[in-house]
Structure 1
């Protein structure tokens, strides 16, 4: 029996590949024992238990970008988190640690290093984060999503994804029915990721009536923090097109299947999942950090499989123009879908699971 510890959390960009890899591990070795490490601050407290996985929590270790109290406390916080991670590894009798980056992975990598547990790293973004830069230095295997990612020993495998995305079981009409949408109407999916995106939500609010007037129905995933049942209600336009707001979608594969076009951020998970699904996206990258989201979407945009609208340029009018321009041109939409579908590997979860078991 193999004992595997998986470390990753915060957003769906870390938890989704973790869960996909866990399922691939179980498919490859049914008696594998899996324990996950996360923090109380992230999405993992919800989605990892829902996936039937054991979750152990450690103290989060934020890396402050400025001189403040968090920086002063960093040595103490990091030491505490490393010790907590070592306890999880010991109790799980870990044969290997697989890290997916983010704050939770730094103490997990250091704990594995000091405990003599071999490490496997997966990097989702084109530009590697600091956690995976640390882990890759002593990892036995390093998998990357993009060929341009610079990490020691990095091997291109793609993004681990759920089989419901790589092998969908519903067609567009069935998926739309699950959301209460018409089966034969042009459908726009709007989602800012697992936490939502206020900027995108505001632009859609401004564009909504014009899009509905054009006969386009809308599935809007606002994010749990941004959803208010008293405010966000179903709207039916005179054209018959509906606006359907929801707080969260547990299986995005169904939302992807329902849509002809999506508006969203350009996190690596969104980029890869929509590409494999053949769903063209109007990308609105986060304007923060090191510009990694824009880089994530660059290949799809260059191949005319997606469109990029800078966050600062996003408005209701701009959104209306771009959406109606694409959905009003079926030939262009079909070309975009075909172009994105075959750009990236779809078997990364199986590849990472195989590499993990080979390390053991």
Structure 2
């Protein structure tokens, strides 16, 4: 059987859209295997098999940041990973490669080009990463999908963020469903809910600020659902043990439930988070991660301009941000409603996975 190879990983920001595209491809290409390429030590090693996809792995070979032993070894190691992908393409009769970013994408992109098979790229962030900039150069016009309208990337078209149907179909106006999910998450239905998350890796700056402000949240009658990330922040968990309305969890199974119960979201501004929160209309305050290419600040820019969210720099996010900005906002129904309407007014695409699958089909037909 012929195959379509998904390439990406490292963060849930890459893995989540990759899996959404993969699920759609399975529905539209029943005569082909849909398999994934990642590394053995990335988050994809756990998430991808749990999602029901076969994961093949190659070595992670990051681009050297300085001259040294690793820089001298890089050319051969990188060439070896390209050869590894070419063997996978031959052994599994791969007809197309779909890349979303991460360490495995550069060798996968070059291998696809050398094997003369279609290459399709999805860029999640407003500012493209190095891997997808390479992929965009190696592919054909119309074969690159981007999430945000302002993203500048060769051969690209606006498709939006591929996301689970549980999110695209979410109706936050369904009070019965919201009430049921609040009960499932241990939340009361008579107090505003503040959802705090730093993503799969957590966010220490956010955690520290809420550790100091947690008692004030309780005193102000605000419930907090704080998603810390796996094994993060025992100090916060210990403090919350004395606060019945402050709930600390490693993760929430199905983020659509967290979006549904939230009156306000405090989060990093990863592309998936911004896209999902905007599509479902959750008012948000974003704290961009202060590393990388500055993409997180740019991811939130359109939402902030529209009035759907606020942005506070990581260095400026403290306990006073919580007490002076966040708590007054989460109890201001009129302002939250205006932010909700502004988010929905941005009309972010909700059919990105379907659009990406259509692009793959068009590429396969030549």
Q: Shorter-normalised TM-score: what interval? A: over 0.9
TM-score, normalised by the number of residues in structure 1: 0.94
CA contact (8 A) 1:35 1:92 kept: no
- Report the CA distance between 1:231 and its aligned residue: 4.6
Q: How does 1:245-324 map to 2 (within 5 A)?
A: 245-324=248-327
Show CA shifts across 1:20-61 (max 9, x none).
111111222344311100012221111111110110111012
Gaps of 5+ in 2: none
- Report the CA distance between 1:235 and its aligned residue: 3.5
Deviates more, 1:107-116 or 1:164-173: 164-173
After the TM superposition, which parts of structure 1 deviate over 4 Å for at least 4 consecutive aligned residues? 227-234
For residues 2 and 249 of structure 1, do their structure 2 counterparts lie closer, same or farther at Cα, with a shift above 3 Å needed? farther
Q: Is 1:202 matched up with 2:208?
A: yes
- Report the CA distance between 1:93 and its aligned residue: 1.0
Q: Of the candidates 152, 163, 166, which is equivalent to residue 164 of structure 1? A: 166
- Report the CA distance between 1:230 and its aligned residue: 10
Deviates more, 1:29-38 or 1:227-236: 227-236
- Report the CA distance between 1:88 and its aligned residue: 2.0
CA contact (8 A) 1:227 1:246 kept: no
Q: Is 1:139 matched up with 2:142?
A: no
Q: Which residue of 2 aligns with 1:23?
A: 23
Describe the SS at the equivalent of 1:137: helix
Q: Is 1:155 matched up with 2:161?
A: no
Count of equivalent residues: 357
Deviates more, 1:267-276 or 1:178-187: 178-187
Q: How does 1:1-360 map to 2 (within 5 A)?
A: 3-140=3-140, 141-168=143-170, 171-228=177-234, 231-232=237-238, 235=241, 237=243, 242-343=245-346, 344-360=348-364
Q: Following the alignment from structure 2 to structure 1, what is the Cα–Cα distance between the partners of residues 135 and 24?
A: 22
Show CA shifts across 1:90-116 (max 9, x none).
222111100001211111111111112
Gaps of 5+ in 1: none
Q: Following the alignment from structure 1 to structure 2, what is the Cα–Cα distance between the partners of residues 178 and 87?
A: 47
For residues 199 and 69 of structure 1, do their structure 2 counterparts lie closer, same or farther at Cα, with a shift above 3 Å needed? farther
Describe the SS at the equivalent of 1:321: helix
Describe the SS at the equivalent of 2:157: strand
Q: Following the alignment from structure 2 to structure 1, what is the Cα–Cα distance between the partners of residues 238 and 166?
A: 28
Q: Following the alignment from structure 1 to structure 2, what is the Cα–Cα distance between the partners of residues 324 and 300?
A: 20
Describe the SS at the equivalent of 1:73: helix
TM-score, normalised by the number of residues in structure 2: 0.93
Show CA shifts across 1:300-343 (max 9, x none).
11111100001111101112221112112101101101111242
- Report the CA distance between 1:6 and its aligned residue: 0.3
Describe the SS at the equivalent of 1:263: strand
- Report the CA distance between 1:66 and its aligned residue: 2.6
- Report the CA distance between 1:12 and its aligned residue: 0.7
CA contact (8 A) 1:21 1:353 kept: yes
- Report the CA distance between 1:2 and its aligned residue: 5.6
- Report the CA distance between 1:357 and its aligned residue: 1.4
- Report the CA distance between 1:234 and its aligned residue: 5.2
Q: Following the alignment from structure 1 to structure 2, what is the Cα–Cα distance between the partners of residues 203 and 133?
A: 36
- Report the CA distance between 1:236 and its aligned residue: 5.6
For residues 230 and 311 of structure 1, do their structure 2 counterparts lie closer, same or farther at Cα, with a shift above 3 Å needed? closer
